[in-house]
Amino acid sequence: MKNPLIMRGSPLLFLLLAGVCVAGYRPVIIVHGIFDGPKQFEKLRNFICKVHPGTEVTVIDLYNNLASMKPMWKQVQGFREAIGPIMRRAPDGIHLLCFSQGGLICRALLSTTPNHNVNTFISLSSPIAGQFGAWRDNFLRLKKLVLIGGPDDGVITPWQSSLFGFFDCNENVVEMRNQEFYKNDTFGLKTLDTRGKVSVCVQSGVKHVTWHSNYTVFMNCIEKWLT
């Protein structure tokens, strides 16, 4: 009986407590993949809101469906313009959760956005090892890099590309730490890994189009990084 009386008698206290709840989680920005849009990410958004109530979750409504085939650098520019205001409203930083082609867009966005405040970049079944460039300084601003993929994806080839692995000239898969760009620390991946800031989560039995709607994937690979 005491708690309800305290809440009714102390509206300011109630507001402060509510504010602490909302402020406890950084905003999450979701970037969809090819032929996707916000509609496909309602389950993932609901997962986050259920487990971390009060979290500001934004699924960027841009380059949806067939428009996702437009030139990548044009998309990067558009997503940067959409995400910029959210970053500026979040002094403690944001989390980027990017699926499939969205992972490549987010990677390019990070490389071309000096002084970004992305705390955690979660790459969800994205062919992240497909290309790389000189984005070392911006990359090393990350507090956490989360790489998620699995052997039953069926689209990402090789599936280890989700984890910065890729084929050699004989089409044998070379895992991340044996890649030349890792050993040479070309864009800071080795440095980030040495700092203990790289997390890898492998989930079997998940098809490419179901990663973002799979609650087990969310709880095992994503949830704990969205604080």
Active site residues: 100, 153, 208
Give just the sign of the alpha carbon dihedral 105, 110, 112, 116: positive
Locate 137 and state its tokens.
Answer: 């300084």
Locate 10 and state its tokens.
Answer: 């102390």
Listed residue (204, 203, 179) closest to 193, CA to CA = 179
Identify whether the C-beta of residue 27 lies closer than 8 Å to the C-beta of residue 86: yes
65: which residues sit within 8 A by CB, 6+ positions away?
35, 36, 37
Question: How far, in Å, CA of 8 to CA of 3, rounded?
Answer: 9
